[in-house]
Chain A
Amino acid sequence: MIKTQKNIGLAFGLLGLVILSLNIMYSFENVPLFFSLCFLSMTLGGILYFNALYGATLSGIHNNGVWFNALTAKGLWGWILGLVLTSFYIAIYWFPELLGYRTETASVGLVAFFDPLSVLLNGKLATQWFMYGTLYTFAILLFGIKFIWKYRSNPYQIFRTLSVVFFQLCFAFLLPELLSKLNPEMPYFSKDIKNMWPLNYYFFDAWHLEGMLNGKSIGQFFLIFGLLMIFVISPLLTYRFGKRWYCSWVCGCGGLAETAGDPFRQLSSKKISVWKLERWMIHFVLVFVFITTIAVVWSFLGTQPELSLVTKERFILGVVVLLLLILLSLFIKHKNGFPKDAKYTLISVVSILLASIGLHYFSGQQNIFFFETYTFQKWYGFGIGAAFSGVLGVGFYPLLGSRVWCRFGCPMAALLGLQQRLFSRFRITTNGGQCISCGNCSTYCEMGIDVRAYAQRGSNIVRSSCVGCGICSAVCPRGVLKLENGPLENRITNPTFPLGNTL
């Protein structure tokens, strides 16, 4: 009975996927009809399948059979899915013509399949990015339903998922398209208000700044709000709630990881050696994004003599003063010795500082450190923006887990994590001595944190990488973990003995 329902669900889902993929070779006459059929079929199939999974069971959270399943335990199906996703991403980023995208004429094939929806929403024909955005949002919606169904006994998971789906659907997808439709003459700039720097690494690029400056009141709103996000809203929210306010409640990358990526969360590596690699990579990305951003702002200011208040010199001076202040506060906070994480922070801040000063003396108008101004940006866009966040980040879900990008490559996660580790009220509290070292928390941590290592010692978990998804707490069989915001004092604990004994 349940098996039949599963199979019917799968059949509908596959039918939708087949209609979708047919577009690569064949153009439908009546696109709106087949487009609706395609998405309805996938939705119906999904819901039937999820109902078979969760509809008939009691409301507890179960991960039975996860490690027996070829899709979720790196078996043949996992590799096949990884290959398909990776090829799709390579096509979107570097060979969009394979998907039917044309620059000179109207697009054909898969991209053209999305034309009617694109015209409806933004008044223009579809690009490969519109197609991608639609599929991306659809995946978050559909698998968001699955996620909520699976974790329905846990209100934190329900609210968090509703939030992340809402931000993707409205702020990342609908609103930017509608704004473009209402202001067809407006120059291009990112209209996804939550996609803030440094995740949006081109926010400070000259063309983007000019786009916003010339974008009338809307553009200027986005510029001011974008700056407010970086310097005011984000630090305040991260202080109050930890980086989870962004990474698992708002962010689109997080949105996909938490919904479509949920079946693969257990594949992240928990090895200490991988944690070490993670810290080097994430700090490297952070330093890189800071230096490139400082460089492009610096050279942008050189081309804008009318901005008399902010000269190149004053800008660099400002950056240097800011970094020195951060360094000073680090030293004051850790005057009795630096914890490991803070050492990485220290090295990062000092490298940015030295690079900023060096920049001023070793760069001309058209070059930075003897490279052409936008060379850094190009490499960043290729290496981090496309190859990492897309191809590796999503394509490798079934092999490396759902948060590879967030863990190793996202500059935003790095920045918020830095603050979370050093200056935030957020922590995961360990419930005294109740841990039985079973390992469910660590296994199902998508960020690869060995949660158990802390819980079994009776220590709270305060880690820069924690995105606060709350799954460790949800899958703990003994009620040991709780995500909390509280005073900074005694947030980081390291008792000699967990609670329970009298020693």
Chain B
Amino acid sequence: MTSLTVNGSRVEVDRPDDTPLLTVLRDALSLVGSRFGCGQGLCGACLVLLDGRPVTSCETPLWQAADATVVTVEGLAADGPNPVQQSLIKHQAAQCGFCISGIVVRATALLEETPDPSAEEVAAALERQLCRCGTHQRIVEAVLAARTGSA
């Protein structure tokens, strides 16, 4: 049994230590908002916050999350859509939307650390998040609009 805190709730997980955190979230805990895109930590669709740091959950083994705090895209919306989510919806900044939950997590982490980033800083922060539909510009604009005081 591994215990960890997911979106504010303490959970016990009975999976082998090397099970990817993403599989634990999606299969064991039925939190499917973090998406499987590659399983290699290269696309960012599975991004979650582990003790406040963005990590690709597909490449994070369960043991690394033991006794840690995990926040997923669902957790960011626990008290209603967070500013990044509100802004993405307002700007219609997605097409297929498969990449977008990872982008929500990354952009939320960016704004925590850098409350007033430039467009270039937002794009740089999203470099490891892949979007295949070509919605990059709208996403950057939506994140900029989610800055404190910009909404």
Partners in one complex: no
Residues of A within 8 A of B (CB): none
Residues of B within 8 A of A (CB): none
